[in-house]
Structure 1
Amino acid sequence: MSRRPRPAARILLVDGAGRVLLFRFDAPDRPPFWCTPGGALDRGETYAEAARRELREEVGLNRDPGPEIARRTVEFLTIEGVEVTADERWFRVDVVEPSVDTAGHTALERRVMTRWRWFDADELATWPERVYPDDLAAMLAATTRSR
């Protein structure tokens, strides 16, 4: 089976205490895992437009995601069971107050994104469930130093 290309925008959402927001995914075909906000681009969207939309839909935050901070290519099986090669563009968004409004979640997101939590960098390495991306703590540190 060939992998489908999946352009995606991912958001490193960081609060005033330096913690990063992750959502817990509970899928029926794999162990639970945690991931940053973000997702696939809609037809005709730029990466920055998708990041802004994902921020609004998944977190309830309507703001410019700022410049792209990283790019990576990863292969994975989506929640819908599709093998993809994702071209991910990353954006860092800093917020003072750590609030989350999930009212904009789709039906699928409401079903599989069961919880959310703000993590500090030390927790990421020792968390008992899988955290994506694997090098999230390093990405957080690298983008914090450049600010």
Structure 2
Amino acid sequence: MRQRPSSRLLVIDPGKRVLLFKFVHLAGALIGQQFWATPGGGLDPGESYEAAACREMFEETGIRIDHPGPQIAQRSTVFTLVEDETVSADERFFLIRVDRAGISPMHWTELERAAIAEHRWWTQAELAATADQIYPEDLAEMLRRAEIW
């Protein structure tokens, strides 16, 4: 099984809301699955977690940053990619504060355009009340430990 190091972004707006993308898979290995997840993705060859976080921030939100902020969590998980490859992911979570809630999908990949149905800024109460699948499952706890909520 391939190792997949990745940077995940905990993007927080001035209202202390967290940005999540809703993935709706209409084709491929994940067909029929729907879930909300943090922005982010795998590292390019030779790329650091911090550099990947900055690159992913720009690609997925249109916002350029020079530093991703502190790494506040790490997890290891196994999951299947849309291309039907199972990977073992080493995910590092970076806390990124932004001064506005707008994003741009201009730099999304073809896969992202096909799978991301919407984005939303979530409050603590909304996250606690939802029955939707959220990844990572302990997102609210991560944000509490980071003293966001």
Aligned partner of 2:6 in structure 1 is: 8
Runs of at least 5 residues in structure 2 that lack an aligned partner in the other structure: none
Match of 2:137 among 116, 123, 134: 134
Aligned partner of 2:38 in structure 1 is: 36
Alignment of 1:52-71 (within 5 A): 52-63=54-65, 64-71=67-74
Runs of at least 5 residues in structure 1 that lack an aligned partner in the other structure: none
The secondary structure found in structure 2 opposite 1:61 is coil
Change over 3 Å in CA distance of 1:145–1:36 after alignment to 2: closer
| Corresponding residue pairs, total | 144
The answer to whether the Cα contact below 8 Å between 2:72 and 2:142 also exists between their aligned partners in 1 is no
Q: For residue 79 of structure 1, report the CA deviation from its aligned partner.
A: 2.0
Aligned partner of 1:45 in structure 2 is: 47
1:95 maps to 2:93: no
**Stretches of 4+ aligned residues off by more than 4 angstroms:** none
The secondary structure found in structure 2 opposite 1:96 is coil
In percent, how many aligned pairs have the same letter?
A: 42
TM-score normalised by the chain length of structure 1: 0.93
Aligned partner of 2:125 in structure 1 is: 122
Q: For residue 121 of structure 1, report the CA deviation from its aligned partner.
A: 1.3
Query: Separation in 1 of the partners of 2:57 and 2:7?
Result: 10
Query: Separation in 2 of the partners of 1:123 and 1:81?
Result: 32
103-112 or 93-102: bigger deviation:
93-102
The answer to whether the Cα contact below 8 Å between 2:72 and 2:93 also exists between their aligned partners in 1 is yes
Aligned partner of 1:19 in structure 2 is: 17
The answer to whether the Cα contact below 8 Å between 2:16 and 2:148 also exists between their aligned partners in 1 is no
TM-score normalised by the chain length of structure 2: 0.91
Aligned partner of 1:107 in structure 2 is: 110
